Amino acid sequence: MSFAKRCLPAIALSAAVAVVRPACAEESFPPPDWRPTLNPLAAREAVPGGTIVLYAHQFPESFNYYLANNTFCAELFGLLYESLLDMNPVTAEYEPGLAERWTISDDKKTFTFWIDPRARWSDGQPITAEDVAWTYQAIMDPRNLTGPHKVLFEKFAPPVVLSSNVIRFTSTELHWRNLGTLGGFSILPRHVFENRDFNKINFEFPVVSGPYHLAEVREGLLVRLHRRPDWWRRDDPRLRNLYNFSTITYRFFAAEENAFEAFKKGLMDVYPVYMSRIWVQETRGRKFENNWIIKQRVENHQPVGFQGFAMNMRRPPFDDLRVRQAMAHLLDRERMNRTLMYGQYFLHRSYYEDLYSPAQPCTNVFYEFDKQKARELLSAAGWKSNPRTGLLEKDGRPFRFTFLERDTSAEKFLAIYGQDLRDVGIEMKIERKDWAAWTKDMEQFNFDMTWAAWSSSLFKDPEDMWASKEADRPGGNNITGFRNAEVDELIEQQRAIFNVSERHAICRRIDAIVAAYCPYVLLWNINAVRLLYWNKFGTPAAVLSKFGNESAAAAYWWYDEDAAADLRDATDRGLPLPPRPAVVVFDQVFGN
């Protein structure tokens, strides 16, 4: 699982996304002629009702997204709570959410929001400016473990509540991200949580504002949501034919293989495939051949993140660039992709893969598998072989490190890596922990190396991961401890740039510097969502949203009673069902 927030459908908005047009006078949004329209990606034939059971990986230490900065909690909060602004699912422009309108001052530092007077919590109380202010205060309270979110809000003075439904934020600095930060954070009910220890608000959220509420939590096993018929936005045209399921259940599995077996038995309805072996070798048999289970590759505009072996640069041996470069040269990615992943992946050379194209290729250093180069780098760093032990040593200390791991699916990759490391005199010890223990170690920077995967936003902001000041923030995203003065200057430069193309050009410069400093042994990725699902659901023409991943199923799909009846009949009688497209390309369905 990745740390960063996913691009969520309809009501949820990544705080890293911001599109602000320069203004010469105070601007008011939305424009006077704006009217809510139907979501063009939603299927008009969708109907409410039925259930869907989804895969949620390992059970997190908390459901509170502000405390547990992972993709599942972001997805869950997107169903339970709303933000001040929404994002148009096609244009990525801002639209009203909890706020019916907003203004931006001429210096683009002051933002005023008018909360929709119809907005209500699930207990019937109005959603007010006090709720917004309290949520901000909870995030910024130094006692609360909300580190990754503090970086977004520390640029703002405490908000001023002007009336019950009007709140004003003023930034201490000009930044393109400011509106996205304010518009995109989930608002929590003050009257429910204000007298509680925020760090202990983990699994109970009795009052919500979004389309679903928590119905059941079985620790380590599942969480169940029920659709809210009284949701205050149920009649919003933009949300029509969305959030259709009466019940959404998330099941938790620590191992991908166990989850896949449960899916094949019908204990889950949707299984996003992250392992190529499953996709290529194990989607056979009559359930797949008879189209009882649909196998689809969905290609859309989902932002591309990155994954790699993160090295803790705060302590030896990974505080030495030459050592980090050697570690990259010792990972045989080509072999792993060919033999373990059936050539399904592209190999990373960038931390911002989707900022490049054939017309603008990435020229970052590419770390080929090269043991001789690795030996030369290690020798230059002062590591010499001890003939008695076969291990490299420096200042009398052998080259040993611990790989902190949380997923058994990593074993086959680490076995190959460990052998190649040993061949040059490096000993890697693998320490396996569950998600909660792993997360705690990461928050405290208590690791040598670990596997980390990060999702991405449409508009890139390098600050929380690459700024030097974030290297020591507990629970932050700069887990490697990366520090670089030139990168800091570029981060400062891009803050005041509102042109996306210009800003992303700076991100490419940052990317080249980061790649050269090698804080991660970069791995691989894929530009599609690989889906398996039981053939009992209706889906929109593009299957998923324009920018979303498999989580979009919870918002865009619906339970098709006729398809479910056909599936029951087909499985009872051993009959095939009509196929669905094996590959769905968003631009072929809706145009670019």
Could you tell me if 58 and 257 are in contact, meaning their C-beta atoms sit under 8 angstroms apart?
no
Does residue 502 share a domain with residue 545? no
pLDDT digits (tens, 9 = 90+) for 435-458: 889 988 998 999 999 999 998 888
Query: Of 525, 543, 558, at which residue does a domain stop?
Result: 525
Q: Indicate the helix (H) or strand (E) that contains 430.
A: strand 427-432
Question: How large is the average pLDDT for residues 58-64?
Answer: 92
What one-character-per-residue DSSP string does 300-339 give? --PPP-EEEEEE-TTSTTTTSHHHHHHHHHT--HHHHHHH
Query: Which are the contacts of 494, defined by CB distance < 8 A and separation ≥ 6?
Result: 176, 462, 503, 506, 507
Mean pLDDT for the chain? 93
266 sits in the region (left: phi over 0; alpha: psi -120 to 50; else beta) called: left
Q: Would you call 347 helix, strand, or coil by DSSP?
A: strand
Quote the domain boundaries for residue 264: 253-302+528-590
Could you tell me if 63 and 203 are in contact, meaning their C-beta atoms sit under 8 angstroms apart?
yes
| E strands present in 64-193 | 85-87, 94-96, 99-104, 110-115, 160-163, 166-170
Measured between alpha carbons, how far is residue 180 from residues 277, 419, 450 in Å? 39, 46, 31
Does residue 314 share a domain with residue 285? no
Question: How large is the average pLDDT for residues 390-397?
Answer: 95
Question: How large is the average pLDDT for residues 173-177?
Answer: 93
Does residue 460 share a domain with residue 398? yes
pLDDT digits (tens, 9 = 90+) for 488-541: 999 999 999 999 999 999 999 999 999 999 999 999 999 999 999 999 999 999
Query: Which are the contacts of 230, defined by CB distance < 8 A and separation ≥ 6?
Result: 122
- pLDDT band (50, 70, 90) for residue 224: very high
Residue 23 exposed, middle or buried by CB count within 10 Å (0-12, 13-18, 19+): middle
**For residue 129, is it within any domain?**
no
Could you tell me if 164 and 127 are in contact, meaning their C-beta atoms sit under 8 angstroms apart?
no
Query: Which are the contacts of 64, defined by CB distance < 8 A and separation ≥ 6?
Result: 73, 201, 202
Does residue 265 share a domain with residue 331? no
**For residue 571, is it within any domain?**
yes
CA 91/CA 79 separation, integer angstroms: 22
Whether the ω angle into residue 30 lies within 30 degrees of 0, i.e. cis, is yes
Tell me, what CATH number does 466's domain have? 3.10.105.10
Does residue 474 share a domain with residue 440? yes
CA 46/CA 384 separation, integer angstroms: 66
Does residue 344 share a domain with residue 277? no
pLDDT on residue 147? 83
Query: Of 525, 542, 564, at which residue does a domain stop?
Result: 525
Does residue 406 share a domain with residue 390? yes
Which backbone phi and psi does 80 adopt, to 5 degrees? -95, -35
Nearest to 1 by CA among 73, 70, 61: 70
pLDDT digits (tens, 9 = 90+) for 131-146: 999 999 999 999 999 9
Nearest to 554 by CA among 77, 218, 130, 131: 77
Could you tell me if 7 and 548 are in contact, meaning their C-beta atoms sit under 8 angstroms apart?
yes
pLDDT at position 21 over 80: no
Report the range of poorest mean pLDDT among 4-18, 40-54, 147-161, 243-257: 4-18
**For residue 47, is it within any domain?**
no
Does residue 409 share a domain with residue 297? no
CA 564/CA 580 separation, integer angstroms: 15
Angle between helices 371-380 and 321-329 (to 10 degrees): 170
Q: Would you call 49 helix, strand, or coil by DSSP?
A: coil
CA 354/CA 566 separation, integer angstroms: 40
> How many alpha carbons fall within 13 Å on the CB side of residue 486?
10
Q: Would you call 449 helix, strand, or coil by DSSP?
A: strand
% helix, strand, coil for the chain, step of 5: 30, 20, 50
pLDDT digits (tens, 9 = 90+) for 287-344: 999 999 999 999 999 999 999 999 999 999 999 999 999 999 999 999 999 999 999 9
Query: Of 525, 552, 576, at which residue does a domain stop?
Result: 525
**For residue 8, is it within any domain?**
no
pLDDT at position 109 over 50: yes
Six token digits for residue 203: 């699994």
Task: Name the residue with higher pLDDT: 102 or 257.
Answer: 102
pLDDT on residue 434? 87
Task: Name the residue with higher pLDDT: 274 or 69.
Answer: 274
**For residue 87, is it within any domain?**
no
CA 84/CA 92 separation, integer angstroms: 15
**For residue 374, is it within any domain?**
yes
- pLDDT band (50, 70, 90) for residue 592: low
Residue with tokens 């995203």: 477
Q: Indicate the helix (H) or strand (E) that contains 130.
A: helix 129-140
Measured between alpha carbons, how far is residue 539 from residues 41, 460, 532 in Å? 10, 30, 13
CA 552/CA 242 separation, integer angstroms: 10
Does residue 574 share a domain with residue 437? no
Nearest to 17 by CA among 99, 122, 89: 89
**For residue 360, is it within any domain?**
yes
Number of domains observed in the structure of the chain: 2
Does residue 487 share a domain with residue 384? yes
Does residue 492 share a domain with residue 466? yes
Q: 303 pairs with which residues across the strands?
A: none
Nearest to 460 by CA among 491, 481, 414, 485: 491
Does residue 510 share a domain with residue 375? yes
Query: Which are the contacts of 545, defined by CB distance < 8 A and separation ≥ 6?
Result: 9, 41, 89, 300, 552, 555, 556
Could you tell me if 371 and 416 are in contact, meaning their C-beta atoms sit under 8 angstroms apart?
no
> Whole-angstrom distance between the N-terminal and C-terminal Cα of the chain?
29
Please give the biggest Cα pair distance in the chain.
80
pLDDT on residue 436? 82
CA 516/CA 20 separation, integer angstroms: 32
Could you tell me if 569 and 111 are in contact, meaning their C-beta atoms sit under 8 angstroms apart?
no
**For residue 200, is it within any domain?**
no
pLDDT on residue 25? 59
Which amino acid makes up residue 108? K
